[in-house]
Structure formats: C-alpha cells, structure tokens
Amino acid sequence: MQNKIVTLALQGGGSHGAFTWGVLDRLLEDGRMAFEGISGASAGAMNAAVLSHGFNVGGREGAREALAAFWGRIAIKEPFSFLPPEMMPGGTSLLTQTTPAAMHAFLAMTRFFSPTQLNPLDINPLRDILEEQVDFDRLRTRSTIKLFIAATKVSTGTLKIFRDRELTLDALLASACLPSMHRPVEIDGEAYWDGGLTANPPIFPLLHLCSSRDLLVVLLHPCSRPGTPTSTHDIGQRLSEISFSSAFFTEVGGLALAKREAESGMFAFGTLERRLKRLNMHLIEANDLMSQLDVMSKLNTKRSFIHGLYDEGRLAAERWMETHFHTVGLKSSFDLGRYLQ
C-alpha cells in the first residue's frame, strides 16, 4: 500500500487538544498517510512534538504509544497543582461541564495578580511531563518529520517558529505559555508567550518548507457560533475564541487570495506560484461539539473528559476518511473560497 504524503497543521486549545490526539491516533492506525511536516501552537505543538518523538523511536505504533502516554499523564496531572485542592478545576461529562466557583475566583484573580504573584515558584507540571517523555536531543538530530512550533515574542508581538533542529523543552513550553497563568519563557534573552496568539496553527512554513501538495488542518476552536452573545460570560467566551482564531483566519484568507491569483494565470513561473496551484486543503473539526463546550473546559484534565474528547477525535477522523480520503493528492476537500471577501 502506497502512503499519501500530507502535512499537518494542529491548532491549540488546552485540554481540547485531546480531540487532536484522537484524530492523530486514528490516522496513524489507518496507515495510509505519511506526514512530511507538522506545525502546531500550544496543545497542537505538544501533539506535534510527542508524535514526532514517538515516530522516531517506534514508527507509527511508537507515535500512538507516545501520544497515549502523554495524554495519560495530562489526565492525572492537574495544570494547577500549585493551587490548594478546593481550587482545582473539575467537570462532569463531555458536554455538561461545571466549573467550581473557586476556579472562577482564581481566574478572576489573574486580572489583578501576575503569574509571579500567583505562582511564585513557577511550578509547571507540563515541564516534568515533557522532560520525562520527549527526547529533545534525538528530535533535533534524528527527526524524520519536519516540525514547526509557534511561539509569540513578548517584545514585538510577532511570530517565532522553532524548527525541529532548534526545538528544546523551553521552546515547546513557550508555545503553550498563557500570559495570565505562567511567566514568559525566556530563550536566548527573548521572552515568549503562547504561539496561539500569532499563529494557531501556522500555515506558511508547511507551504514554503515542505513539498507535499496536501495540507490537513485540525481545528479546535469553533469556526462559527449561532446568535450574538449578550451575557458577560458569553461575550468573554467568544472574545477568547476570536483572539485565538483570528491569526488563522487571516492567514487562510491570504492563502485563499494568493491561490486564486496563482490559479488565474495560465503559466506558473515561480516555485511558490506552482506550490499554490497544486495545493490541496483539508480540514477536520468538530464545530458542533466545540461550540457547546465552555472556554474554561480547556482547563479540565479529568480523565473522563480527556478520553471523551479522544473518542470524538477518532470518530471525526473516521468520518473524514470515509468521505474525503479519496481526494488526497487530487483536489481539496475544504473550500478556501469561503475566506475570500
């Protein structure tokens, strides 16, 4: 069986990244696609790095095992373990999430106190998990999958892409550094915040630095919501979604325009123009599901919630393969034209 070669762009979204774990697990299990490159921000960056590490060690099954081990640790390791027990996040089922009043109070405190004040020891359980489970030296020197990890420069508000050959534990943590929750991650004298602020996920590295004609995006934030938010809670939730999706929509809008211009010409003289004409876009998402989840459920690391999202991701990947796999290598299964104004 000949593999179809694709690149992956993985969106960030806290514990909602378990949905992407499910998607990746099903694609790896199916075995008909090979990954030339993967870009990611925040949780998408974690999935990208862990998958690549596992693939380096044991191929497809190694990648599946590495992802399962990582999310297994996330499901029992609370991201707010520096808080007293009564302030830990919780939930009931996948679509009936309840957030304790203490957590609302803590998040309200982040508006008045800095991460240094709330977490003076700078405790980050994610650091321990990644340090134990990812061989960064091996990733930098022996990676067979190109990695493009997004972070945001605090000083300029611009995007920084860490490639596999320069990927470190700090670079990966920088990609998931929420400004209100953790201190900036300093690398070579530069401070970094969450990559989702400037590219969620980054698309252009896959276009410029990979040769595959097919790009598969896995989205976590709902692309649209019915109605107009009126309560302070709903307004805040929608603002959060927009802030972590706007960079993606802007980049995809520019890509759609460039692709339209490239296709309108009879001849393609430049390398980029030829790439744009050949580019096929694909999308796996769960808009209906994600639009029902509270934005604070991104902090929910209950095992039932994590594995529920994983199951939903596998189902979404299965549905996409049944409907669109035959288009890979031939045409887009996602209409970029809807982003053209």
* Among 15, 25, 39, 42, the one annotated catalytic: 42
Q: How many CA atoms lie within 13 A of 112 on its CB side?
A: 4
**In angstroms, rounded to a whole number, what is the distance separating the alpha carbons of residues 11 and 59?**
23
Q: Which of 15, 194, 212, 214 is catalytic?
A: 194
- β 190-194/146-153 pair status: antiparallel
Supply angle C-alpha 116, 71, 174, rounded to 5.
35
Give buried/exposed letters for 1-40 (b at 16+ CB in 10 A, else e).
eeebbbbbbbbbbbbbbbbbbbbbbbbbeeeebebbbbbb
DSSP 244: T
DSSP collapsed to 3 states, 187-229: ECCEEEEEHHHCCCCCCHHHHHHCCCCEEEEECCCCCCCCCCC
> Is 122 one of the annotated active-site residues of the chain?
no
Q: What is the DSSP letter of 333?
A: S
Element (H, E) at 318: helix 303-324
Whether 114 is catalytic is no
Number of Cα atoms under 13 Å in the Cβ half of residue 340: 10
Show the tokens assigned to 8.
């992956």
HSE (side-chain half, CA atoms, 13 Å) at 164: 24
Using CA atoms of 131, 133, 134, 135 in order, give the dihedral in degrees to the nearest 10. 90
Question: 227's torsion region: left (phi>0), alpha (psi -120 to 50) or beta?
Answer: left
Task: Name the residues annotated as catalytic.
Answer: 42, 194
